[in-house]
Chains A and B, each alone.
Chain A
Amino acid sequence: MMGLTKKDFTLLLIVAVLALFAPFILNPFPEGSAMAQFNAGYPDLMQRLVIFGIFAIGFNILFGLTGYLSFGHAAFLGVGSYAAIWMMKLLTMNVVPAIIISVLVAGVFSLLVGWISLRRSGIYFSILTLAFAQMSYSLAYSVLTPITGGETGLQPKAGDPRIIDRALGADGTERANFFGLEMGSSYDMTVGNWVFTFSAGYYLAAVVMLAAFYLSIRIFRSPFGLMLRAIKSNQQRLNYTGLNSKPYTLAAFVISGMYAGLAGGLLVAMDTQVGAERMFWTASGEVVLMTILGGAGTLIGPILGAGFIKYFENIVSKINESILHQWFAFMPDGIEDFLVAIVYPFIGKGWHLTLGIVFMLVVIFLPGGLVEGGQRVARLFKRKKPADDNPDGKTTPAE
C-alpha cells in the first residue's frame, strides 16, 4: 500500500496512530493526582517531540544510512528557523510559506556546506561540519545581527511589513496561523478527572512528521537508499567498481539538511521566535544523541530517541528533592534520606548525567540503540524459532 511493503505500512500506521492519539497516550494520569507530573500531553512538549523527531529522521538519513557523522546539523535547523521568521516578518503570518522557505534555504545552505565538507570523510568530515556550524553560530550571534537579531534573537513585531497580510486586510496579529487557524489554539476535552488538550499546532506538526516519516521509508527502500547503504559499508570498494559516490553522499547530506530546515521552520511556526543558541554545537550533539539512542539506521529509532530525550528533558528535569521525599515518604526516615540522596543526582537538574550514562551504555552494549534492545527482548520471548527473524544470526539494524 502506498508503495510500501506490508511491514513498512504497518510501521507507518502505528506511528500515525501514536501521533494521532498522542494527547491521550501521553496523558495517562488524571489531573491533580501524584503522577500527573508525568503527563506529557501538553501542546508545547508534544510539538517538540514530533519536531525533533523530524530533525532526527533527517539526521538518520545521513548518519544511519550513509555513515557520515555530522556534528553540525543544528546549523541547518537554525538557518531554517531564521528563514521562516523572515517570511513571517515580510510576507504573512501564515506558516505555509515560512515552512516551505525554511526547507529551501536550509537545502541551499546544506548544498554549500556539504559540497565542501564531503571532500573529506571520517573524522575530518565531522570536524569540518563542526567548524562550519560553529562559524554559522558565531556569525548569527554577532556579525549578522541585522539579519539574525544577535543575542536577542528575532520575533514578529507589530511594525513588520507583512505584505500579503496587509494586502488581504487581515488583522495585524502576530500569531502564527494556518489559513486562519491559529497555531496556539487548542481544545480541552474533560473526561472525569482527565484533561486532554488537542492543539492545532501539534496536529499540523504531526501531519508534517508523518509525511517526513513516509518519505524517509521510501528513501530507505529505494535504489538510492541501497546506494547510500553501500557507501556506508564500503565506499572504497564502491569507487573501485567505477561508481562515483559523491553525488549520492551530497544528495543524502542535502536531504538531511532540508529535514533539519523543516524542523527549524516548524519550531518557528510553533513559538515564533529564534535565537542563535539554537545553532550551538551542543545542539548538534543532541540530535546525534537522539539518533544513536533510538537506533541509527533503523526507521523508527530516531523518532523514539527524540521522544525519549525530549520527554526526559521536560518531565524528569522537573522532579525536585521535595517530590522525591514524597515518593519515598513510606520508608523509615534514615532510608528515605539515603534513597533521596542516591537518586537525586540523576534526576531534576542532573538529568543530563542520566542521559550521558544511558548514551554511553547504548554505544558500548547496544550499537543498534533502543530498537535493537527491543528486538533482543522480543527474541527472548520468541525463543522457539530464532532462525525466523534473523537468518544470519546477527542484528542488522539498517533493515
Chain B
Amino acid sequence: MDAIILQILNGLDKGSAYALIALGLTLIFGTLGVVNFAHGALFMIGAFCAVTLSRILTLSHEVIDETKTDFLGNPLKVDVPYLYDIFGQTTGDAIIDWAVPISILFAIPVMVFIGFAMERGLIKHFYKRPHADQILVTFGLAIVLQEIIKYFYGANPIPTPAPEAFRGSFDFGAAMGFDPNTIIYPYWRLVYFAFSAVIIGAVFAFLQFTTFGMVVRAGMADRETVGLLGINIDKRFTIMFGIAAAVAGLAGVMYAPINSPNYHMGMDFLVLSFVVVVVGGMGSLSGAVLAGFLLGILESFASMAVVLETLPGINQIIIYLVAIIILLTRPRGLMGRKGVMEE
C-alpha cells in the first residue's frame, strides 16, 4: 500500500509538468488549430526566467570589508549584492532565497510577450497552411530558441535551488500511520503539484466563467460563426496564445528546482507532451490534464523495482506503448471530441 502511494506521489510532479505543457498545447491547438512544436521551448524559457531572475538578484559590486584581512593585514574585497544596499542584509538574503517563486511575477509578462510576438510575427501566417508546415516552422523556431538559450547560458545544467523553507522532505509515512521514512516526499514537489493544480483550475475557471472564456470556447467550436457575429475572434485567440505560453513558462519556472534547467529540456518534454495530448484527445483540455497525470503516474509505477524485474526497461517505453495502443484503438483519445483531426 505504502509503495503504491509513493508511486502515485512520484508520478504527480512529472504528471503536473506533462499536464501543464499539454494544456498549453491543447489551448493553442483547440483555438488556433496550430500544432506548436515550439511549446517545449517555451517551457524551457520559463525555467530560464527563474535562472535569469536569480542572477539579476545576486548582481553584486565589490566593497572593501575592513573586518576581514588577508595574512598581510590588508583589508579584503568582498562581493556585496546590490540588494543588500537597498533592503539590508537579512531581507536581501531572503529575497535571493525566494528567487524561484518571485520569478513567477517576472515570467508572466515575459512569457505573454513572447507568446504575443510568436503569434503575431509567425504563427498568424500559418493558419491556412497545412499542419506539416506548422510543425516544420515551429520545429525550426524551437531550434532557434534553444540555440539562443545555449549561447547565453551555456550547455551545462544550471542548478536553481528552491527556497530554504522548501528544501527537505515531508514524511507521509509518519503522517498517515505507516512506518516513518517509507513515504518521504520533497516539499518542493508538493508545491509544484499544488501550483499546477491552481494554474489548471485558473485556466478552466477563466474559460468557464468569464465572458471572454465563453467567446473563446464558442470560437473553438465554430470560428467562422463567432466571427460573423461581429466579434474580433483573432484578437482573443492571440491573447489565448499568450496565456498558453505563460502556462508553459510557469510550468518551467517552478520545474527549475526539480531538475536543473538545461538548453534541451524543452525538446525532452516536447515529445512526451505531444504523446500526452494525443492520448488525452486533441483539442480536449480536460483530456490533456487527465492524460498528463495518468501517464506521469503510470510512468512512475513502471519504474518500480517489482515491475522492472519482470519487464525490464518498461519504464522507458510505457508512455509510447500506451500512446500507440490508444491511437490505434481510439484515435480521438480518451476525451477527444469526434471529428477533431480524425481521418
Q: Mark B300-322, 1 if CB is under 8 A from A, else 0.
A: 00000000000011001100110
Check B275–A69 contact: CB distance below 8 A. Answer: no
Check A363–B147 contact: CB distance below 8 A. Answer: no
A134 interface hit (Cβ, 8 Å): yes
Neighbouring A residues of B320 by C-beta, 8 Å: 131-132, 134-135, 138
How many residue-residue contacts, CB under 8 A, span A and B? 108
Q: Mark A96-132, 1 if CB is under 8 A from B, else 0.
A: 0000000000000000000010011111101110111
B76 interface hit (Cβ, 8 Å): no
Q: Mark B254-282, 1 if CB is under 8 A from A, else 0.
A: 00000000000001000100110010001
Residue of A nearest to B152 (CB): A345
Classify the interface of chain B: helix, strand, loop or mixed: helix
Query: Would you give the shortest CB distance from B155 to chain A, in whole angstroms?
Result: 8
A288 interface hit (Cβ, 8 Å): yes
CA distance A1 to B142 in the complex (A): 45
Report how many residues on chain B are interfacial, defined by Cβ distance under 8 Å.
39
B131 interface hit (Cβ, 8 Å): yes
Neighbouring A residues of B343 by C-beta, 8 Å: 120-122, 124
Query: Would you give the shortest CB distance from B264 to chain A, in whole angstroms?
Result: 9
Choose from B135, B136, B275, B316 the contact partner of A141 (Cβ within 8 Å).
Answer: B316
Q: Indicate whether A124 sits within 8 Å of B278 (C-beta atoms), given known contacts A135-B321, A143-B313, A353-B148.
A: yes
Report how many residues on chain A are interfacial, defined by Cβ distance under 8 Å.
39
Neighbouring A residues of B316 by C-beta, 8 Å: 138-139, 141-143
Check A364–B341 contact: CB distance below 8 A. Answer: no
Q: Indicate whether A345 sits within 8 Å of B151 (C-beta atoms), given known contacts A122-B341, A363-B136.
A: yes
Residue of B nearest to A121 (CB): B343
Query: Would you give the shortest CB distance from A28 to chain B, in whole angstroms?
Result: 29
Neighbouring A residues of B133 by C-beta, 8 Å: 363, 367
CA distance A65 to B271 in the complex (A): 26
A374 interface hit (Cβ, 8 Å): no
Check B341–A281 contact: CB distance below 8 A. Answer: no
Listed from nearest, the 9 A-B pairs whose CB atoms lie closest are A143-B313, A356-B143, A138-B316, A360-B140, A353-B147, A356-B144, A359-B140, A131-B320, A135-B320
Of the A-B pairs whose beta carbons lie under 8 Å apart in the complex, a sample of 21, sorted by A's number, is A120-B327, A122-B341, A122-B343, A123-B135, A131-B275, A132-B320, A134-B320, A135-B321, A138-B316, A138-B320, A143-B313, A281-B271, A282-B267, A352-B143, A353-B151, A356-B141, A356-B143, A359-B136, A359-B143, A360-B144, A364-B125
